[in-house]
Amino acid sequence: MNQEEQLKVLEGLHTLETIAETLKITKQAALNLLTKLKKQQYVTVQGGGRTKRLYKITQYKQLPRDEGMFDIINKYSPNFKINPWYDHQVHGIYGPEEALIDALQTNSFRLILASLRLFNHIKNWQKLYKLAKQDHCWQKVAALYDVARLFLKVRTMPKKYSNLKIEKRWVQLTQLKKINFPDIAQKWKVYIPFNKNDIKEIQ
Amino acid sequence: MINQKDQQDLFKLISANIKQDIECFALGGTAMMFYGYKDETKDVDLIFQNEEQREIFIEALKKLGYQETSPITIYIAEKLKDPNKPLMFKRGESRFDLFVKKVFQTILNPRMKEDIFAIHQFKTKHTFTIKVLKTEFIVLLKAVTERDKDFEDILTIVKKDKMFDWNYFLDEVLWQTQHGDGWVLLDVEKMMQELKKYVFIEEKYFKKLYQKEK
């Protein structure tokens, strides 16, 4: 059996034993094969130590990744994970500030809801403001911040950013034109699609 | 030939040399490298949404020492007559094939733009965004470009992508035909007949294709 066929047969999650059993080889031979495939980037390992090692084998190379929007949001949202619908990677500087702005561009209810958690990790408000200005979405950022601080632990936004003039036009975060949290919605002229129960899911 | 690491480094360099943020779509060998299906590629195929963005990209390429080259030895004669043939730039072993809006007669349509596999953003001075097309579109565009090794790449994709959706692929072929692509049906039929020698393709997909031909 050549390597291409081996990968085809093995594709998926395995333990050392299941690899040996599938290929009808000894454990030592399976270990040698795994070492070779790992070097070629066809295998990644999960677990080890007290937990059983699991080998993820694919027919394509599992290339090292740079973090993107979904990675950052999932990292800071422990109870509410997003299943990425495309692979987003940024090769360069990328942090919670950029991820928040990118999340707003998607208009996705779940993604924007999960991004509320990012307000506890914003270190550079000036950068966030600059990025939001470029995308004309400071209104949305400020409204989300006000909602987030009602339920979640957030870093304090400098006062100079919290009282800025905004456009008079109402804007939508998602396709839903709901006005939850009417005071905040009115202040920033932003339709807020999620309610208290939605936010409880991410707490 | 250009490998995965060289490609990433090159894109980073380009992002440092462009004068404003630009966005394009990766097809061909470049896209396959993002998938991990290929270790190296002869040419970097990119398609832009407008001429202005391609010009900005070309400016950056020229700064990096790339020079325009002729597509004569690369594409077949029929394709060379097409006004939507690519502009090509070469430096040493690496080459860029740059399209705008269309790959010959095949249109970069809204479905291709929305239904993508990955977004890679290279950020330095400006942001160079590359959107990687889905495998079905890569196969379609490889079928219409008909260059050396295009068939080999198609075979690799179809073998490795367990989720390859023939119905989705054929719907796209129909869409392109309805929107003026006179070659796509012939190119795809030829490709599928050849592919049949190596992988199993259900007869119903050929029937679907022939129905479209009628």
Distance of CA B44 to the CA centre of its chain: 9
Interface of B with A (CB under 8 A): 4, 8, 11-12, 15, 35-37, 39, 116-124, 127, 132, 159-160, 162
Which pLDDT band, with edges at 50, 70 and 90, does B194 fall under?
very high
Q: Does pLDDT of A36 surpass 80?
A: yes
Average pLDDT for B82-88: 89
Check residue B9 and give its pLDDT.
Answer: 92
B119/A87 Cβ within 8 A: yes
pLDDT of B180 reads: 82
| CATH class held by domain A3-57 | mainly alpha
Q: Is A107 on the interface with B (CB under 8 A)?
A: no
Task: State ipTM.
Answer: 0.91
Contacts of A58 in chain B (CB under 8 A): 36
Count CA atoms closer than 13 A to A149's CA, side-chain side.
Answer: 13
Quote the pLDDT of residue B105: 87
Which amino acid would we find at residue A103? A
How would residue B214 be classed by pLDDT, with cut points 50, 70 and 90? low
Taking the CA of residue A66 and the nearest CA in chain B, the distance in Å comes to 9
For residue B130, give the nearest of B113, B144, B107, B142 by alpha carbon. B113
How far apart CA B147 and CA B149 sit, in angstroms, is 6
What pLDDT is recorded for position A178? Answer: 83
Contacts of A86 in chain B (CB under 8 A): 116-119
pLDDT at B183: 84
C-alpha dihedral, A170 to A123 to A94 to A100, nearest 10°: -20
On the question of pLDDT at B73 being above 90, the answer is no
pLDDT beyond 90 at B94: no
Task: Note the pLDDT tens digit of each residue in A131-164.
Answer: 999 999 999 999 999 999 999 999 999 988 887 7
User: In chain B, what percentage of residues exceed pLDDT 90?
Assistant: 70
Q: Cβ contact (<8 Å) for B123 and A89? A: no
pLDDT at B79 over 90: no
With a cut of 90, say whether residue B77 has pLDDT above it: no
Rounded CA separation A57/A41 (Å): 9
**Residue pairs spanning A and B at CB distance below 8 A:** 52
Average pLDDT across chain A, whole number: 93
Nearest CB to B119: which of A59, A61, A86? A86
Q: How far apart are CA B96 and CA B127, in angstroms?
A: 19
- pLDDT, position B129: 97
Cβ burial of A18 (10 Å; 0-12, 13-18, 19+) is middle
User: Would you list the domain boundaries of chain A?
Assistant: 3-57, 69-202
Are A90 and A67 in contact by the 8 Å Cβ rule? The answer is yes
With CB atoms and an 8 Å threshold, state whether B118 touches A60: no
Contact residues on chain B for A59, CB-CB shorter than 8 A = 159-160
- Residue A42 pLDDT greater than 90, yes or no: yes
Beta bridge partners of B89: B68, B96
Distance from CA of A129 to the nearest CA of B (A): 18
Question: Distances in Å between the alpha carbon of A166 and those of A104, A139, A191, B72, B208?
Answer: 17, 6, 14, 56, 55
- pTM, two decimal places: 0.90
In 3-state terms, what secondary structure has residue A182?
helix
Cβ <8 Å between B117 and A94:
no
Per the rule left: phi > 0, alpha: psi between -120 and 50, beta: everything else, A83 is: beta
pLDDT in tens, B124-176: 989 999 999 999 999 999 998 877 788 999 999 999 898 899 999 999 999 99
**All domains of chain B, ordered by start, with CATH?**
2-163 (3.30.460.40)
Q: In this complex, is the C-beta atom of A68 within 8 Å of any C-beta atom belonging to chain B? A: yes
**A88 vs A99: CA distance, rounded Å:** 11
Residues of A in contact with B132 (CB under 8 A): 87
A92 contacts chain B (CB < 8 A): yes
Q: Tens digit of pLDDT for each residue in A85-104?
A: 999 999 999 999 999 999 99
Predicted local distance difference test score (pLDDT) of residue B212: 65
